[in-house]
Structure 1
Amino acid sequence: MPKLGMEPKRRADVINATLTCISLHGMDGMTLDKVAEYAGCSKGVVAYYYKNKDHLTIEAFKSFLAYYSLKIESEIERTMTADEMIDVTLKHILPPYGEDAEKKINVSQLDGIEKMFIPYEDQARLFLHFFSKAVLDRNLQEVVSKSYMADLQGIAKIFDYGNKMGQMSVEDSQNAAYGLLAMVVGLSFFRVANIPPAHGEDNRYICEDYVKKFTGR
């Protein structure tokens, strides 16, 4: 049994270790033994908090998806224009390429949201591993659905705000949000599959051009 008062840190260490393990070894290669090794604890500690591999996978997936919402919410300010809010959103859900392989995965809020981080290549690999598994796993599908429905509502609210403030012209904010998020998901898969745009640029510009249609930029 873990030491008293260590539960939040132990849980965070195990989730971070699980994401690291999945990124490096894939879903099939992730085991409780390997997670314990990466977390620096015993397999018994892992099993104490997460009863089996399926339970741990679901909780790690929730933390992976929640990471993006938390980072976005922490950076959006009421004084921003709707356009700036969308820029913050896109920066996190489809980040620019970065050389950050030396940094470690951390999706824990214990040390503050500003300390949370997932390296660029780990994001791509985790996206592929989790969503490939979710195709056949109803429990993971539910996690995706709940997370993306919340994302759609958040993006639609930004479009509604842009309309209200005269900063955007969006006929149907729900459809506009759906289109943007669907575009992000598709472009994320293209990144993982190494399918660049025709001229080789970072494909995130496609989303930026989509938003420009509503802002007139």
Structure 2
Amino acid sequence: MPKVGAEPHRRAAVLNATLMCISAHGIEGMTLDKVAEYACCSKGVVTYYFKSKDTLVIEAFRAFLAYYGLKIHSEIRSTLKAGEMLDLTLKHILPAHTDEPQGAINVSPLEGPDQMHIPHEDQARLFLHFFSKAALDPRLQEVVSSGYQQDIQGIVKIFDYGNLTGQMKVQDSPSAAYGLLAMVVGLSFFRVAQIPTLNQQDNRYICEDYIARLSNERT
């Protein structure tokens, strides 16, 4: 049993190790023994927090999806314009490509959202592994549905704020938010499949153009 007081950090370490393991080996290749190795702990510590592989996969997926909302909420400020809030949202849910070294996976908020991080390559691999599995697993589908509904609600609030302040003109905020998130998911799959855009730009420009059109309708 982990030492008293260390439990939240040890649990977080197991979740981070699970995501690293899934990124490297896929869900089918992830085992509790491998997770213990990545977390530098015993298998007993892993099973102390997560009784089975299935439970661990579900909780890791939930932490993976929650990561994006936590990062966005930590940076949103009331002083930002609606368009800036959407740019910030897009920065996290469809980050720009970079070849810079990006460190290790950390989806734990224990040390503050600024310390949370998932390298871009790991984001792409985790996205593919989790969503491929979710296509046939109702439990993971429930995690996706819950996470994305929260994301849609957050984007709706930004669109409504843009309408209220006259910075945007969005006739149907829920539909616009649904469309933007669906666009992000589709473009994420295109990235994983390495499908290039016709103009060779980072495909996030498609979402940026979508947001710009909504912002410019009042001009």
State the TM-score, normalizing by the size of structure 2: 0.97
Tell me how far 1:199 sits from its aligned partner. Answer: 1.4
Equivalence for 2:4: 4
Tell me how far 1:100 sits from its aligned partner. Answer: 4.1
* AA aligned opposite 1:151: D
Equivalence for 1:77: 77
Structure 1 stretches (4+) deviating beyond 6 angstroms? none
Equivalence for 1:183: 183
Note if 1:56 corresponds to 2:61: no
Tell me how far 1:102 sits from its aligned partner. Answer: 4.9
Equivalence for 1:127: 127
Q: Secondary structure of 1:99's partner? A: coil
- The whole-number CA distance in structure 2 between the counterparts of 1:109 and 1:130 is 21
Aligned-pair Cα RMSD in Å: 0.9
Identity %: 68
Equivalence for 2:113: 113
On the 8 A contact 1:21/1:35 being kept in 2, the answer is: yes
- The whole-number CA distance in structure 1 between the counterparts of 2:58 and 2:122 is 18
- The whole-number CA distance in structure 1 between the counterparts of 2:47 and 2:118 is 24
Matches within 5 A, 1:16-55: 16-55=16-55
Equivalence for 1:161: 161
Matches within 5 A, 1:86-105: 86-105=86-105
Q: Which runs of 5+ in 2 are unaligned?
A: none
On the 8 A contact 1:66/1:147 being kept in 2, the answer is: yes
- The whole-number CA distance in structure 2 between the counterparts of 1:49 and 1:99 is 35
* AA aligned opposite 1:9: H
On the 8 A contact 1:101/1:121 being kept in 2, the answer is: no
Number of residues of Structure 1 aligned to a counterpart in Structure 2: 217
Q: Secondary structure of 2:150's partner? A: helix
- The whole-number CA distance in structure 1 between the counterparts of 2:172 and 2:64 is 29
On the 8 A contact 1:100/1:120 being kept in 2, the answer is: no
Q: Secondary structure of 1:179's partner? A: helix
Equivalence for 2:67: 67
State the TM-score, normalizing by the size of structure 1: 0.98
Q: Which runs of 5+ in 1 are unaligned?
A: none
Q: Secondary structure of 1:209's partner? A: helix
Tell me how far 1:110 sits from its aligned partner. Answer: 1.4
Residues 22-81 of structure 1: CA deviation (Å, up to 9, x unaligned): 000000110000000000000000001000000000000010000000000000100111
Q: Secondary structure of 2:107's partner? A: coil
Tell me how far 1:99 sits from its aligned partner. Answer: 2.4
Task: Label 1:179 to 1:24 Cα distance change in 2 as closer, same or farther (>3 A).
Answer: same
